[in-house]
Copies of this chain bind each other. A is one copy, B any other.
């Protein structure tokens, strides 16, 4: 296992070689500014136009509805702040969930400081939102509903199309953060009834620093980044041609191979969950078993702390995550694991395993074996666990 076993594909993925290959011309000879009228610029804008058309087709969108951004975080910020700013005269209430990514949660908190009101809907023990709760939360002054498609920590998948159809009937703008969903769920903006949708390329074997905000024709939100005329004057900044070409290629490959990849990954993930549950005592799967991303397994291992599990696995060449990578600067236990009703002590013990297209059965077997040993070792170091009795207790 010399190169390391990468089970952190929800944090970021390896750039696909074919994506890099598609980008290479734009990292070398075709370096023109896509806004330039001359040959160098025309070569660039041609590639960007083709990429945009391809992305649109793969999402069931129109070409003019795809806007390129610097990533999922910018897309989420733009969608929410842009809607809040544009529609504040109509109302100042936003509905979202308690388990959104920080890109959404922190942005909502900013808006709260500015006088907006945000309802953070609770989820059930499987991490699922009920459409009924959305309906109850909506008020006359609700201007936006934003619900993440799939959760980055426990992989729970929300009923986006249903929420979308309700939002449409009510005439309320509906955004979904589909950053985690895109690698294993076929997205169609019309079937989903979404007005806006965020994506980030590095989550599906594309490059870092490039993302998408889909904005349905007719929806007019305020700009986040102002300046030149790029992206139909909606998002300024010199066009990141290699990034855009890479994103489009990565999306093509993802959609093309999705059925097959999902089948492989799901089989491995189910095998992993089964073995862990059978072979390791005092562990809990966080989140439900249905309506869950095929790549995700999230466990709490009682009586030991998550980061120390992560670091012990790392010493043995296995890369996983405790809580979301984005909040790893923080000491708080995962807000998502808490939101599904996991007690705080167990929330401190959670580990996310996120499989990818390169994951092998051999790697999973090695991981289970290593995990067993690691959990045993750490429990023998823990004041909460009695090795002789083989039992533990939170004091």
Contact call A72/B237, Cβ cutoff below 8 A? yes
B-facing residues in A217-235 (Cβ within 8 Å): 223-230, 233
Nearest opposing residue in chain B for A210, CB measure:
B209
Q: Give 20 A-B pairs besides A36-B328, A208-B238 with Cβ atoms closer than 8 angstroms.
A: A8-B32, A11-B33, A12-B31, A15-B28, A35-B325, A37-B310, A37-B314, A38-B311, A39-B319, A40-B319, A70-B71, A70-B209, A71-B238, A77-B227, A103-B227, A106-B227, A107-B227, A110-B226, A209-B240, A229-B330
Partner of A73, one of B104, B233, B238: B238
A2 to B: closest C-beta gap in Å: 12
> What are 26 A-B contacts with C-beta separation under 8 Å?
A4-B39, A8-B36, A8-B38, A11-B36, A12-B31, A12-B238, A13-B31, A35-B325, A35-B328, A38-B319, A38-B321, A41-B325, A73-B228, A74-B225, A76-B227, A77-B227, A101-B227, A101-B228, A102-B236, A104-B227, A107-B226, A208-B243, A228-B326, A228-B327, A230-B326, A233-B329
Bound Cα distance A15, B25 (Å): 11
State the CA gap A324–B230 with chains docked (Å).
Answer: 12
Top 3 nearest A-B pairs (CB, nearest first) are A228-B326, A229-B329, A70-B70
**A54 at the B interface (CB under 8 A):** no
Q: Is A196 part of the contact surface with B, judged by Cβ < 8 Å?
A: no
Interface residues of A in 289-313 (CB under 8 A from B): 307, 310-311, 313
- In the assembly, what is the distance between CA of A237 and CA of B104, in Å? 11
User: Which residues of A pack against B, CB within 8 Å?
Assistant: 4, 6, 8, 11-15, 17, 20, 27-28, 31-33, 35-41, 70-74, 76-77, 101-104, 106-107, 109-110, 200, 202, 207-210, 223-230, 233, 236-243, 307, 310-311, 313-314, 317-322, 324-330
**Copies of this chain, count:** 2
CB-defined contacts of A227 to chain B, threshold 8 Å: 73, 76-77, 101-104, 106-107, 326
Q: A4-B39, A33-B12, A227-B106 are contacts. A207–B327 as well, Cβ < 8 Å?
A: no
Q: Which of A70, A71, A202, A326 has the most CB of B within 10 A?
A: A70
Looking at the complex, which one of B13, B76, B242, B319 makes contact with A208 (CB distance below 8 Å)? B242
Q: Which residue of B lies closest to A11 (CB)?
A: B33
| Bound form: Cα–Cα A307–B41 in Å | 14
Q: B residues within 8 A CB of A209?
A: 70, 209-210, 240, 242-243
Which residues of B have CB within 8 Å of A327?
228-229
Residues of B within 8 A of A20 (CB): 27-28
Kindly provide the distance from the CB of A79 to the nearest chain B CB, expressed in whole angstroms. 12
**Is the beta-carbon distance between B38 and A320 smaller than 8 angstroms?**
yes
- Alpha-carbon separation in the docked complex, A247 to B326 (Å): 23
**Min CB distance, A131 to chain B, in Å?**
26
CA A224 – CA B223 in complex, angstroms? 12
Whole-angstrom CA separation of A40 from B226 in the bound complex:
35
Question: In whole Å, how far is A335's beta carbon from the nearest beta carbon of chain B?
Answer: 13
Nearest-CB residue, chain B, relative to A12: B33
Task: Please measure, in the bound complex, the distance between the C-alpha atom of A272 and the C-alpha atom of B26, giving whole angstroms.
Answer: 30
Greatest chain B CB density within 10 A among A4, A35, A36, A327 is at A36
CB neighbours (8 Å) of A319 from chain B are 32, 36, 38-41
Partner of A236, one of B103, B238, B317: B103
